Structure 1
Amino acid sequence: MSGAKTFYITTPIYYVNDKPHIGHAYTTLACDVLARFKRLDGFDVKFLTGTDEHGQKVEKSAEAAGVPPLALADQNSANFKELAGILGCSNDDFIRTTEPRHLAACQALWTKLLEKGDIYLGAYEGWYSVRDEAFYAEDELVKEPNGAKLAPTGAPVEWVKEPSYFFRLSAWQDRLLQWYEDNPDCVGPNSRRNEVMSFVKGGLQDLSVSRTSFKWGIPVPGDDAHIMYVWLDALTNYITALGYPDTSGDFARYWPNVIHMVGKDIVRFHAVYWPAFLMAADLPPPKRVFAHGWWTNEGQKISKSVGNVIDPLSLIETYGLDQVRYFLLREVPFGNDGDFSHRAMMGRMNSELANDYGNLVQRVLSMIGKNCGGQVPERGPATGDDSEMLAPAYGLLARLRDAMDRQLYHEALEAIWMVVRAANAYVDKQAPWGLKKTDPARMGTVLWTLAETIRLLALATQPFMPTASNRILDLVAVPEGQRDYRSFSPVAALVTGTPLPSPQGVFPRYVEEVAS
């Protein structure tokens, strides 16, 4: 792929204190869809995910479990690696912050910041949340009626006083604001960009970037009494995976043409601290940070204590992988909060996948099998109706590119479904079953137009539903070498006389089992 446009996409690295849940699956799937789309569109793509394995939370959990921190990290990191496989993810790398390559990258970045005068030794005194691995100012805390103080996330906080190295974040306030102004797309969606800019305009304090009260982390170079603050450690993973501190090779190839996909709760770390660290180290900041929303479950906030955490593995077992992939990126505008409900899931599966798309494929290919000898029919002269059907189908790629570059997955899927609905309306209007006796040549043209539309729809849906889309491409006999987006044109259209396999259902209706 020498000379190809490059594209780098990352999930946040997932904290090994958690068990994988729907939020992790959502972010990873969003990245996978974008990675697949860009690959199909001719980009040289690198897709990274992985696990964040240091910090006080891990040390405390390991202590409670009576195991070394690395043993706990090994076990839980494996769960996230397994999840990526079960989700059908196409990631090129899976990084762990306990790897030697990551230690080397973090210590190199620290040394660079120290040399530049952006890190200095002092003492930290203030509020710290172990659960969030974050420091909070007094005015950010939530005061409970009983006098207790909580982080804005609801996590408990404790007063911490210890020697600490600091990063001169305050010195980067104006340069960060300039970066946001000069790069209006660097943080998305706009609501998060406004939130980040408001935070920075409110004044930045220097950031404590080391701890001495626990040991599970990356040692500060030249001062083993300190370990690096877990966020400086964690964020560095994005350049560790590109070979940093070597800035040739993959680093030169992919950085900074990167999109960091994150949950809205960690946008500050990615859109304030991370660009400041990079610029201070004479490295370009990321191209874009996109923060998506959170899911609720049947209208309720998801929490372990309520016991309504959604397990992505059981969702896939119940509904199917492509169906879950489709639903999560179709149901709500990406960037907004969304509610998961089984009723909504079944509705999308049955009305859109089974009735709209699946039924279109099944009935068109069944008619071709029955009336055209199981071969791609002959295309006769096109009517205005045929051109009206094919124009938006061929035009889909331009619409998809625009939506995907803005991470508006729901808009991409709606553009696809407009063509699906138009194809179903075209079938009903043309009534090819009636043309068999009255005008068989016209019947062939109508069925060719529909089969070609199905080919284009299957190309378009590949990033979202790779398995089902490939089955549909098999059903219209598209060769393996003609499934990328160079084939999204009339040049690669279906060839008359090509034998087609027997049509088979792709999206079965979901029928809820009734307990007897």
Structure 2
Amino acid sequence: MPDYFISTPIYYVNDVPHLGHAYTMINADSFSRWHRGMGDDVYFLTGTDEHGQKVAESAEKANMSVEDWCDSYSGRFRNAWSKLEVTYDDFIRTTENRHRVSVQKFLHAVYDNGYIYLAKYEGHYCVSCEAYYSDAEMESGMCPVHKRPLSVMAEENYFFRLSAFQEDILKWYESGNDVVFPDFRKNEALSFVRGGLQDISISRTSISWGIPLPWDERHVCYVWFDALINYLTGIGYGEGGPKFEARWANSHHLIGKDIIRFHCVWWPAMCMAAGLKPPTQALVHGWLLVQGEKMAKSGGNGVDPINLVETYGVEAVRYYLMREHALGSDGDFSLEALEQRYNVELANNIGNLLSRVTNIVERSLDSISPSSTGRVIDSSIVQGHVDRARDFWNGYASSRALEEVQNLVRYTNSVLEDRAPWKVSDLNELGEILGDALEVLRLVALLTSPVLVRSSRTILSAIGIDPTIIDFDFSGQLSWGEYQGGAKVLKAKPLFPRIS
């Protein structure tokens, strides 16, 4: 069973969960569920980033201890992911002792290898980003992300020799592996590298809320350097866990495009400096936009995913986010599009197919399912849709995978309209029609299971299949002809009641 390690960014505890965060999490959750279904030994890591100047200042303004502040905000993220039915294997907090151990071990490795030195630094700093920006990166003296004035900071810092890894990172990118996906995001990362890498400050003496450098406790580790190491902490780097090597060898970081520089330039260089291989792959998604602007607390345009779930249901939200936009591209969020996807693709297409078929099986065949034959619904057409959907899932193209599912459902519904089983009295003919339709429903449930966590199980239960097959390796069940018949079929209630 091959290992598959997928992670999300850890979320800053100066924010509250918005739909942009949910988009990242539902992508990661869906990919982890798919790979588990393909037989991989999946490890899904997420968490919260709890150090840095901004956190300490926010706690002080709220008249709270920084520990209580972190506990409160970290809990909000975990609560949100639970309501979105995101199932992770580990939730890391950078204030945990295991992370402190991991960070200090990593820092010592980089320091001992000669890639950290002490010097004075002055630069333009964004407190919201917890990052310095060069003159070329600024926009009229403003932060390019938050559009706010930058502060000039000067202090004695320890520096990481990022410049020493310019050629090594270029070779890594040119290795032929998809180290950054999709390709056009890889080109963005390469532009950072080819523009010339400058050494980066990795410590602060002006703050105390963070992890001290192990060789000089006057200095606290820079929050981004600290935060990136969570990916190692979560799989046992600091503890020397037995699964660390295997998981790190197939590691996939799902990130937003605004943190490419940290994950696709700094992080691989940091790993090289510590004597580790770089991560296997960064999966870079675009932004969810509201009226053309990035969704963010600072912009006042954040959409609360929990409110959406309470209004439309978790299945509608998960499906819309995985169906509407291709991974990597920006896309506008709208309630109209969410309702359209739900009513047409879930209620009209999948929901109606399930209701129509199970109702006729109950009424005309005493609720006992016939087996599939492929004499009515062309099995080669079905298998083509299934194979393409599987390939798209394997290639992180969830929108296209779900489009193939819709094509399969539309084809099946068109066959049923043509054969009109509700008018057929010959039981042999009826059995052939319904047996093939039940087989399609089985395949639809498997292919949508990473996204429609509840409904895929409902479909399988309704057609007499143990829904727990989704929890295990179902890679061998994505071929036509696996539905044997003879099962008790349950008349399905409306799976996706229409939104008016």
TM-score by length of 1: 0.93
Aligned twin of 1:159? 152
Q: Distance in 1 between matches of 2:295 and 2:89?
A: 31
Q: Which residue of 1 aligns with 2:475?
A: 485
Does structure 1 residue 192 correspond to structure 2 residue 190?
A: no
Partner of 1:411: 400
RMSD across aligned positions (CA): 1.6
Residues 1:150 and 2:142 are matched in the alignment: yes
Give distance in 2, aligned partners of 1:323 and 1:373.
33
Q: CA deviation at 1:430?
A: 1.6
| Structure 2 letter corresponding to 1:83 | A
Which amino acid letter does the alignment assign opposite residue 196 of structure 2?
A: G
The answer to whether residue 216 in structure 2 is matched with residue 227 in structure 1 is: no
For 2:331 and 2:241, locate their aligned partners in 1 and report how far apart those are by CA, in whole Å: 41
For 1:161, what is the secondary structure of its paired residue?
Answer: strand
**Other structure's SS at 1:259 match:** strand
Q: Does 1:364 align with 2:357?
A: yes
- What is the aligned counterpart of 1:457 among 444, 448, 453? 444
For the structure 1 residues 155 and 405, does the alpha-carbon distance in structure 2 shift closer, same or farther, using more than 3 Å as the test? farther
Structure 2 segments unaligned to the other structure (5+ residues): none
Q: Is the CA contact (8 Å cut-off) linking 1:459 and 1:485 kept in structure 2? A: no
Query: Equivalent residue of 1:48, what SS?
Result: strand
Compare relative contact order (CA 8 Å, sep 6+) and give the higher one, 1 or 2.
2
State the 1:294 CA deviation.
Answer: 1.1
Q: Which amino acid aligns with 2:443?
A: L
C-alpha separation between the residues in 2 aligned to 1:235 and 1:504? 47
CA distance in structure 2 between the aligned counterparts of 1:248 and 1:378, rounded to whole angstroms: 48
Deviations 1:201-232 (A, max 9, x none): 01000111101111111001121110001111
Q: 1:227 to 1:492 in 2, by over 3 A?
A: same
Once the two structures are superposed, the pairs formed by residues 499-510 of structure 1 within 5 Å of their partners are 499-510=488-499
How far apart, CA to CA, are the structure 1 residues paired with 2:296 and 2:217? 38
State the one-letter code of the partner of 2:434. L
AA of the residue aligned to 1:493: Y
Does 2:121 correspond to 1:128? Answer: no
Q: Compared with structure 1, are the counterparts of its residues 308 and 138 closer, same or farther at alpha carbon in structure 2 (3 Å cutoff)?
A: closer
Instruction: Give the aligned partner of residue 433 of structure 1.
Output: 422
Alpha-carbon separation, structure 2, partners of 1:313 and 1:170:
43
Matched with 1:97 is 94
Letter in 1 for 2:203: S
Task: Tell me what 1:51 maps to.
Answer: 48
1:71-470 equivalent positions in 2, closer than 5 A = 71-143=68-140, 149-153=141-145, 154-297=147-290, 301-304=294-297, 307-377=300-370, 382-383=374-375, 385-386=376-377, 388=378, 390-436=379-425, 439-470=426-457
Using the TM superposition, give the Cα deviation of residue 248 of structure 1 relative to its aligned residue in structure 2, in angstroms: 4.8
Taking the aligned partners of 2:410 and 2:451, their CA distance within structure 1 comes to: 18
Counterpart Cα distance in 1 of 2:302 and 2:230: 28
The C-alpha deviation readout for 1:12-69, integer Å capped at 9, x for no partner, is 0000000110011000000000000111111100001100000111011111112221
Distance verdict in 2 for CA 1:397–1:277, change over 3 Å: farther
Secondary structure, counterpart of 2:136 in structure 1: helix
* Inter-CA distance 267–347: structure 2 relative to 1 (3 Å threshold): same
What TM-score results when the alignment is normalised by the length of structure 2? 0.96
**CA gap 1:300/1:481 in 2 versus in 1, 3 angstroms:** closer
2: distance between equivalents of 1:303 and 1:481? 38
Q: Check the 8 A contact 2:389/2:401 in 1, yes or no.
A: yes
Q: Which residue of 2 aligns with 1:24?
A: 21
Specify the code of the residue in structure 2 equivalent to 1:151.
C
What is residue 12 of structure 2 aligned with on the other side?
A: 15
CA drift at 1:434: 2.8
Maintained 8 Å contact 2:45/2:89: yes
1:142 to partner: Cα distance: 1.5
The DSSP-based 3-state class of the residue aligned with 1:196 is helix
Measured after TM superposition, the shift of residue 334 of structure 1 is 1.7
Match of 2:3 in 1: 6
